[in-house]
Amino acid sequence: MNHKEMLYEGKAKKVYAMEDSDLVMVEYKDDATAFNGLKKGTIEGKGVVNNLMSNYMFQYLEKKGVPTHFVEQIDDRHTIVKKVQIVPLEVIVRNRAAGSFCKRYGAKEGLVFAKPTFEFSYKNDDLGDPLLNEDHALALNLATKEEIDQIRHMALTVNKEMGELLLSVGIVLVDFKLEFGRLPDGKIVLADEISPDTCRFWDAKTGEKLDKDRFRLDLGDEQQGYRELFKRLGLEK
Ligand code: TMP
């Protein structure tokens, strides 16, 4: 691993510089937080699941025509990705009501939507990642109209492709959060991670939650949820 100094430490990952300044190395930690860092804990082995699952999804999505930041997996916790400038939007697609959607609108958890919904939040921890609309994002110069159109199209493609893949292994993709980045030439690529930390996954038969909601909601045995997902995707060694 030819990495240099640590550039940044986030809640679930560390990012290191590389000799090649177009690349960075990501390290996935076992640390878990919820409610903007108010709840803290550790889920043993989570970093490995999230790294491997994210890389699996990114490679799958590349094949389906969605460009991503993925370059190469180094080991169970480390991956080389293209260095991007993150667009400060948390892009959320929902297929069923859960989480903040239920809290905000009083919807019953599990309500199936006729079509997926698209929303974004301003990625800003100090402000608590507030929900915002397209006009607000444009007013704040967070992205251009063209970028937002591209991001929406890519996010809906991710929903379709990942939803089909997961359903084939008995998992319902309830909702998820994506982040996008700009390459030096301005091209938009899918970045950050796709994992049980950033998606809601329910067992298609039992409705059992197999994601970070187990931690957020104190449902217990978080590790087992992450492991089950790993098994279903055939990633267990
Ligand atoms: P929400 O229902 O709490 O708004 O979450 C929607 C989706 O986004 C869910 O799959 C979990 C994911 N998410 C993150 O990845 N990071 C976050 O900080 C939050 C609040 C949600």
Which residue intervals of the chain bear CATH 3.30.200.20?
Answer: 3-82
Model-level pTM?
0.97
Distances in Å between the Cα of 128 and the Cα atoms of 36, 63, 144, 206, 207 are 6, 35, 23, 33, 29
Contact assessment for residue 72 and residue 78, using Cβ atoms and an 8 Å cutoff: no
Predicted local confidence at residue 233, as pLDDT: 93
pLDDT tens per residue, range 64-98? 999 999 999 999 999 999 999 999 999 999 999 99
Closest C-alpha to ligand 1, atom 6: 176
CA 18–ligand 1 middle distance (angstroms): 30
CA 101–ligand 1 middle distance (angstroms): 10
Neighbours of 106 (CB within 10 A): 8
Which residue intervals of the chain bear CATH 3.30.470.20?
Answer: 85-220
Q: For the residues 113-126, what does the mean pLDDT come to? A: 97
Query: The domain 3-82 is classified under which CATH number: 3.30.200.20, 3.40.50.740, 3.20.20.60, 3.20.20.70?
Result: 3.30.200.20
Q: Phi and psi (nearest 5°) for 148?
A: -65, -40
H/E stretch holding 207 = none
Question: How is domain 85-220 classified at the architecture level of CATH?
Answer: 2-Layer Sandwich (3.30)
CA 235–ligand 1 middle distance (angstroms): 24
Q: For the residues 15-31, what does the mean pLDDT come to? A: 97
Closest CA to 73 of 57, 44, 49, 51: 51
Q: Is the pLDDT of residue 4 over 90?
A: no
Closest C-alpha to ligand 1, atom 15: 198
**205-233: burial string, b at 16+ Cβ within 10 Å, e else:** eeeebbbbbbbbeeeeebbebbbbbbebb
Q: Is the pLDDT of residue 170 over 70?
A: yes
What are residue 118's DSSP bridge partners? 93
Mean pLDDT of the chain: 96
Closest CA to 228 of 205, 216, 218, 217: 205
pLDDT tens per residue, range 188-230? 999 999 999 999 999 999 999 999 999 999 999 999 999 898 8
Angstrom distance (rounded) from CA 9 to CA 69: 18
Q: Is the pLDDT of residue 2 over 90?
A: no
pLDDT grade, residue 1 (50/70/90)?
A: low
Q: Is the pLDDT of residue 114 over 90?
A: yes
